[in-house]
Amino acid sequence: MVEPAIERLRSSVVSKLTDVPKRILIGRALRSDRLGETLLPKRIALPVFASDPLSSVAYAPGEVLLVLSIAGVTAYHFSPWIAVAVVVLMFTVVASYRQNVHAYPSGGGDYEVANVNLGPKAGLTVASALLVDYVLTVAVSISSGIENLGSAIPFVVENKVACAIGVIVLLTLMNLRGVRESGTLFAIPTYIFVAGVFTMIAWGAFRGLVLDDSMRAPTADYVIKPEHQGLAGFALVFLLLRAFSSGCAALTGVEAISNGVPAFRKPKSKNAATTLAMMGLLAVTMFCGIIALAAATDVRMAENPAKDLVHNGVPLGPGYVQNPVISQVAEAVFGKGSFLFIILAAATALVLFLAANTAYNGFPLLGSILAQDRYLPRQLHTRGDRLAFSNGIVLLAGAAGLLVGIYGADSTRLIQLYIVGVFVSFTLSQTGMVRHWNRHLATETDPAKRRHMVRSRAINAFGAFFTGLVLVVVLLTKFTHGAWVALLGMVIFYATMTAIRKHYDRVADEIAAPEGPSDDSVRPSRIHSVVLISKIHRPTLRALAYAKLMRSDSLEALSVNVDPAETKALREEWERRGIDVPLKVLDSPYREITRPIIEYVKGLRKESPRDAVSVIIPEYVVGHWYEHLLHNQSALRLKGRLLFTPGIMVTSVPYQLQSSEAAKRRARRQQDWNAPGAVRRGPAQERPKESSEPKP
């Protein structure tokens, strides 16, 4: 009795050692009926779903100035007008998506709208665009955050790829803990960032307008050496369009709220629409405020600062690190090294990391819906221990980590791939909403409802026109700068999802139960059972006993002669024991086991096509992974071949070795495990302790 007790103790310790790290990282598993507890109030939903557009104000103004710098500092006076265009676009998109969340609150978002109103191909195009954009959101946000943090900590810049991947791993673990818990963690830094930016705008406006202070950015005395001096006509228009398309990065992530409506508390669509409006108002105000302060403090940015930024007639050189616009403005307003400057700098870096959370919530939700529609593997529809879509989270992290590695965590290179996908989904979604309202207007007779529908249709029509125009601009200005990579990614996603759907449809057609009689429902004329034998031992005897219980029309034992001495010993023991099952031995001059058995079984089927052949394979089950390495797995190989042989039924008769008892005891402790006959023996705590010795 001592040895079983020691074994149980050892198994308990091993089980806890393997489970404890998982529980520390992602927390205790949650029951399915606690899903409602993970739903989000608006104060948590805002940082969860809107952290991407809110944080984009940390790099979107800089991207505008970087493009304008091509024509020199004289082009900077166009930045307020570009900001106005971005604001109009933001309000248009927000107003349009408020219609979406009310009309389609199920969480399908752009994909559902396009799929229902424009057809499956349009829906799949939108889904491909969004999946690519979510991956890029993680890569761009984290790379930008690393660069912001690197301006204060040189180690981060020197190892930015490793640091970026480390942040991706950390965010992945946080999201695996569940949407509610990750949202609570992300809310504090997001709100600190928003409060810091508004404080900077308010204090900067007060100093400039009331106190008439002179605020100067650290780059105010630098001169920009333009790549193209005195642009005019079409070249200038193209430059302004390219700057506008870069500023549109502020709109990324807006669609995530329409995809995440199911995660809101009730009333879901109303709360989602309110959160969307709050997000749009905050993002627009911060974007415009930073653009205005950048102009007031004479911020200078260049695409190639080492050569294009000049101080006292000398280029700054490769040793110069160009800080983001928001950092330069904060230094001018608060003063370098001040408490508020440090707080805002830290919050900016942190919120850029957390901006990826928008994608961490949008990608798994969309992946789950696509998996439910059979466009992605079904595993993406499965919730993990913490009721989050764990497989989708891990897939997103892997794809984003790959992009970060390929592009060296360089946000300037990555951002060229950005926003193409999101404007594809914007345009198709709003076009789908116009058709949605047209369809409902055709049947609606209530004048009040019709007026509401006409107003909503007008909003969505303007949204479709404006976002479509921006999509054309983005493609024209960014295609050769890297947007083609995003388009290629969309094509790959589209082709992959189409192939997956075809596979699932083909399988469904093949296994669908017919209305009338079929070959599968017709009882076979006879059942011919074959028990595979290598030696006479307990697994063999159990398999023979099971085969006799099946009452087949014919039963025989089958062995393969690869060693004449062993085969002779098998025949002699078979006769000595008087086993009343005929033993057939197949010759194998090349010492193969699988091929002779497959050919013999196929021969039985060929002789009697209407008969069923049942192949019974005795197996012994071990309890430790390393024990599998000590066995040749011939049964596994045989099953693999037989499963692809038409008309053959394969049955495994397991025999649990003593080491596997440990696995069974672990299973009993982890869940209420009921062995056959357990109900007859009474409750688990009253059952007698089982011996660890194998039973014959």
Q: What is the DSSP string of 43-94?
A: HHHHHHHHHHHHHGGGTHHHHHHHHHGGG-GGGGGGHHHHHHHHHHHHHHHH
Burial class (CB in 10 A: 0-12, 13-18, 19+), 570: buried
Check residue 37 and give its pLDDT.
45
Reply yes or no on whether the pLDDT at 200 is more than 90: yes
CATH of 527-657, one of 3.40.50.620, 3.40.50.12160, 3.90.45.10, 3.30.499.10: 3.40.50.620
* pLDDT 10s digits, 354-389: 777 778 877 888 888 888 888 888 878 766 544 567
Residues 6+ apart with CB under 8 A from 456: 99, 433, 437
Distances (CA, A) of 539 to 137, 386, 654: 56, 41, 7
3-class SS shares of the chain: helix, strand, coil, % to 5: 70, 5, 25
Average pLDDT over residues 328-336: 88
Name 375's Cβ contacts closer than 8 Å, sequence gap at least 6: 124, 127, 497, 498, 500, 501
The predicted pLDDT at position 583 comes to 92
347, 335 in Cβ contact below 8 A? no
Q: What is the DSSP letter of 549?
A: H
Cβ atoms within 10 Å of 572's Cβ, excluding its own:
10
What is the structure's pLDDT at 669? 57
What does the pLDDT average to over 632-637? 69
Section 20-44 average pLDDT? 53
pLDDT, mean over the chain: 77
Contact status, residue 82 vs residue 244, Cβ threshold 8 Å: yes
Cα dihedral angle (674, 680, 685, 688), rounded to 10 degrees?
-100
Starting at the earlier edge strand, list the strands of the sheet with 527-532.
583-587, 554-561, 527-532, 612-621, 648-656
- Assign 513 a pLDDT band (cuts: 50, 70, 90): low
User: pTM for the whole thing?
Assistant: 0.67
- Per-residue pLDDT for 557 more than 90? yes
Band of residue 695 on the pLDDT scale cut at 50, 70, 90? very low
pLDDT at 451 over 60: yes
φ, ψ at 610 (rounded to 5°): -85, -5
Q: Which of 228-232, 310-314, 540-544 has the lowest mean pLDDT?
A: 228-232
Evaluate whether 27-503 and 527-657 have a shared fold. Answer: no
pLDDT at 482 over 80: no
* % the chain with pLDDT above 90: 6
Cis peptide before 53 (omega within 30 of 0): no
Domain parsing of the chain, residue ranges: 27-503, 527-657
Of 27-41, 211-225, 367-381, 526-540, which gets the smallest average pLDDT?
27-41
For the cut 90, the answer to whether the pLDDT of residue 494 exceeds it is yes
User: What Rg, from alpha-carbon coordinates, does the chain have?
Assistant: 33
Contact 38, 387 (CB under 8 A): yes
Q: What is the mean pLDDT of residues 167-184?
A: 70
Distance CA 617, CA 627 (A): 20
Which of 605, 547, 534 lies closest to 574, judged by CA?
A: 534
The length of the chain, given as a count of residues? 696
What pLDDT, on the 0 to 100 scale, is given for residue 599?
Answer: 87
Q: What would the pLDDT profile of 139-166 be if each residue is shown by its tens digit?
A: 888 887 787 676 666 677 678 788 888 8
b/e sequence 311-343, b meaning 16+ C-beta within 10 Å:
eeeebbeeeeebbbbbbbbbbbbbeeeeeebeb
Beta-bridge mates of residue 223: 310
Would you state the pLDDT for residue 660?
Answer: 64
Q: Lowest-confidence range among 155-169, 566-580, 669-683?
A: 669-683
**Distances in Å between the alpha carbon of 613 and those of 517, 528, 604, 610, 640?**
21, 5, 7, 10, 16
Could you please report the per-residue DSSP string of 415-470? GGGTTHHHHHHHHHHHHHHHHHHHHHHTT---HHHHHHHHHHHHHHHHHHHHHHHH
Check whether 321 has a pLDDT greater than 80. no
Tell me the C-alpha distance between 531 and 617, whole Å: 6
| pLDDT band at residue 115 using 50, 70 and 90 as cut-offs | confident
Q: How confident is the model at residue 113 (pLDDT cuts 50, 70, 90)?
A: confident
Q: 519 pLDDT band (50/70/90 cuts)?
A: low
- Percentage with pLDDT > 70 across the chain: 79
pLDDT number for residue 9: 43
Asked if 496 and 449 touch (Cβ cutoff 8 Å), the reply is no
Region of poorest pLDDT, from 146-150, 370-374, 588-592, 596-600:
146-150
What does the pLDDT average to over 276-302?
87
What band does 681 get if pLDDT is binned at 50, 70 and 90? very low
Q: Are 562 and 583 in contact (CB under 8 A)?
A: no
Q: Is the pLDDT of residue 276 over 70?
A: yes
What does each C-alpha distance from 11 to 102, 336, 627, 672, 678 come to in angstroms? Answer: 53, 59, 16, 17, 22
> Into which CATH architecture does domain 27-503 fall?
Up-down Bundle (1.20)
Residue 517 pLDDT: 57
